Each structure stands twice: as structure tokens, then as C-alpha cells.
């Protein structure tokens, strides 16, 4: 899908970010169209996670602005940005130790519901339950519905985290290294899961392994020293001499 021809889900305009007196992002511009699957890559310290933090409202921009489906979000608190439609996962999974897998999914669904009149609540509860069961089956988590995060293996934990972002119904999902710490086989399974379950979402994901990117991303944005170095198809990026020099040459 071509970013220029689809309505923008995310637009970052002239974004800069200074942390601890250091410029981490410098005049970053990017536009992501509806339904695109975009990989954000770059060397360690390039500013990828900081860009995610800025989009999610967890760090403030020092210049520029960020738009989600035409609405400016960079001055909103993180909770409002999440409700506005930015779902995300983190490099290390962020889950609740004492909640069961199914309760995590319930909480993700309920968080987006408006308060209802009491006589409508029963129907809403039944609909939520159906969605929880559907989510468990989609994510391959039916057998661990009643277990806590400590009782499930790492790939399932990451699948749960993906499910939390998905069930929140956010149109834009930011996935920060969803396969970090996984074996090749586990990572391949995770990429297949993302491709299968996130069909109706726009994806921006950070990933270090260029081979994995080709499975999922239709477009790649390369960050280097806090700036966009290149933006193109996976093939264009593979052949880009500047990208070879700063990143892919070292990563492959
Ligand atoms: N809160 C902070 N205060 C000061 N510097 C920070 C802060 N957060 C990040 N940095 C610095 O910003 C730079 C970019 O970090 P960031 O985590 O965004 O990079 P990255 O591209 O995601 O790297 P990696 O691939 O290693 O995760 C790094 O030099 C980091 O040390």
C-alpha cells in the first residue's frame, strides 16, 4: 500500500526531542497511510524507541507536532493518546502480575467502553465475554486463560501483549521489538501471528532483524542519529548505500 495515496493515520511533522540536554530526535517527518505496515529500523541509539515514546505521549517534543487521523495528539497525556487510537507494546512486556490472561483481555476491552445504563450492562458483559473468548482463540491462548503472566512462556506473554493492543481497537499499533529475546522459530511464529491478527490495523514496528522485516513490512523507515535517513520499500532500503553504511552492512 502506498502512503501517499491513502489517508494518513499518523503524521509526524518536524519533530525534535531533547532529553538530558542531548538532541535525540531532530526534525523527524513521516507520514503513515491507512493499513500500511511500516518497519522502523536503525542502529542502537538512533532514537527509535524515543520516537515511539513521543507518539505515545511518554516524552515531550521540543519542536514539531504529531497528528493521528487528522487530530493533533502531541500535547495530550498518554492515556488520552491511547484512547484516541494509539495502541502499543514495549521492548519488555508491560503486564499485570496478578491478573489472569483472560482478565487482561477483559480489562483491555472494558477500558474503551463508555459507561452504560444498568439495563444494558448485561448484554455488554455478554458481548465482552464473546470477544475475550475470540481473542484467546485468535492469539492461541485458550489453554492459559486462567494463568497469570508468570505462569506462561515468553512467546505467549508477547502474544498476550499484542492482544492487549489489538483488543483496545486502536487503529495504529506501535510494536517495539515484538520478537526481542525470541529464537528464530519463535520470532517467525510471532510475525505470522501479527500478520494474521492485525489485518485491519496500521502498523509501525521496530525490528532489528532485516530478514524478519521482509515477512511483514511493505515499507521501511531508517532512523540514524535522530533523523530519517531513508524511507522506501524493503528492497530499496536493502540497496541504499547510506543504509548499508550505517546499519544493514553491520546488521547482516
Ligand atoms: N530519558 C533519557 N534521557 C537522556 N537520554 C536518553 C533518554 N532516553 C533515551 N536517551 C538516549 O537517546 C538515545 C536514543 O535512544 P533510543 O532508546 O530512542 O534509541 P533506539 O534507536 O531505540 O535504540 P535501541 O535499538 O538500542 O533500542 C540513546 O543515546 C539514549 O541513551
Please tell me the chain's helix, strand, coil percentages from 3-state DSSP, rounded to the nearest 5: 45, 25, 30
Q: Is residue 25 in contact with ligand 1, taking CB distance under 6 Å?
A: no
Ligand 1 centre to CA of 206 (Å) is 13
Ligand 1 centre to CA of 241 (Å) is 25
Q: Which pLDDT belongs to residue 4? A: 55
Q: Is residue 44 in contact with ligand 1, taking CB distance under 6 Å?
A: yes
Q: Which pLDDT belongs to residue 233? A: 92
Q: Which residue positions in the chain have pLDDT lower than 70?
A: 1-6, 112-124, 248-252
3-class DSSP string for 22-49: EEEEEEEEEEEECCCEEEEECCCCCCHH
**Which residues face 63 on adjacent strands?**
16
Ligand 1 centre to CA of 47 (Å) is 6
Mutation choice for ligand 1 from 18, 26, 47, 175, CB with most ligand atoms inside 8 A: 47
Residue nearest atom 18 of ligand 1, based on CA coordinates: 47
| Other Cβ atoms closer than 10 A to 100 | 16
- Report ipTM (2 d.p.): 0.94
Length of the chain, in residues:
252
Q: Which domains does the chain have, with CATH numbers?
A: 3-85+170-251 (3.40.50.300)
**Entry pTM:** 0.87
| Other Cβ atoms closer than 10 A to 37 | 21
Q: What is the DSSP string of 145-179?
A: TT--GGGS-HHHHHHHHHHHHHHTT-SEEEEE-TT
Q: Which atom of ligand 1 is nearest to the CA of 42?
A: 21
**Which residues face 33 on adjacent strands?**
8
Q: Which pLDDT belongs to residue 252? A: 45
Q: Which pLDDT belongs to residue 7? A: 75
Q: Which pLDDT belongs to residue 221? A: 94
Q: Which pLDDT belongs to residue 124? A: 64
Residue nearest atom 30 of ligand 1, based on CA coordinates: 45
Give per-residue pLDDT as tens, 185-209. Answer: 898 899 989 988 888 899 999 988 7
Instruction: Return the sign of the alpha-carbon dihedral for residues 19, 20, 21, 23.
Output: negative
Amino acid at each position: 500500500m502506498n502512503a501517499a495515496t491513502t489517508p494518513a493515520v499518523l503524521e509526524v511533522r518536524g519533530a525534535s526531542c531533547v532529553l538530558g540536554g542531548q538532541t535525540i530526535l531532530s526534525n523527524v517527518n513521516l507520514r503513515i497511510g491507512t493499513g500500511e505496515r511500516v518497519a522502523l529500523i536503525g542502529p542502537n541509539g538512533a532514537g527509535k524507541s524515543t520516537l515511539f515514546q513521543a507518539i505515545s505521549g511518554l516524552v515531550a517534543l521540543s519542536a514539531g507536532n504529531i497528528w493521528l487521523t487528522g487530530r493533533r495528539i502531541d500535547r495530550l497525556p498518554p492515556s488520552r493518546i491511547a484512547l484516541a487510537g494509539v495502541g502499543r507494546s514495549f521492548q519488555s512486556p508491560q503486564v499485570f502480575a496478578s491478573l489472569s490472561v483472560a482478565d487482561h483481555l477483559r480489562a483491555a476491552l472494558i477500558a474503551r467502553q463508555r459507561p452504560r445504563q444498568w439495563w444494558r450492562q448485561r448484554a455488554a458483559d455478554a458481548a465482552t465475554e464473546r470477544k475475550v473468548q475470540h481473542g484467546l482463540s485468535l492469539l492461541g491462548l485458550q489453554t492459559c486463560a486462567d494463568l497469570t503472566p508468570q505462569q506462561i512462556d515468553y512467546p505467549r506473554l508477547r502474544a498476550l501483549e499484542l492482544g492487549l493492543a489489538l483488543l483496545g481497537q486502536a487503529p495504529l499499533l506501535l510494536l517495539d521489538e515484538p520478537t526481542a529475546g525470541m529464537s528464530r522459530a519463535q520470532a517467525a511464529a510471532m510475525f505470522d501471528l501479527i500478520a494474521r491478527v492485525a489485518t485491519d490495523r496500521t502498523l509501525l514496528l521496530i525490528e532489528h532483524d532485516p530478514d524478519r522485516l521482509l515477512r511483514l513490512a511493505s515499507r521501511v523507515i531508517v532512523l540514524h542519529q535522530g533523523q530519517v535517513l531513508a524511507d522506501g520499500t524493503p528492497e530499496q532500503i536493502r540497496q541504499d548505500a547510506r543504509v548499508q553504511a550505517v546499519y544493514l552492512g553491520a546488521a547482516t
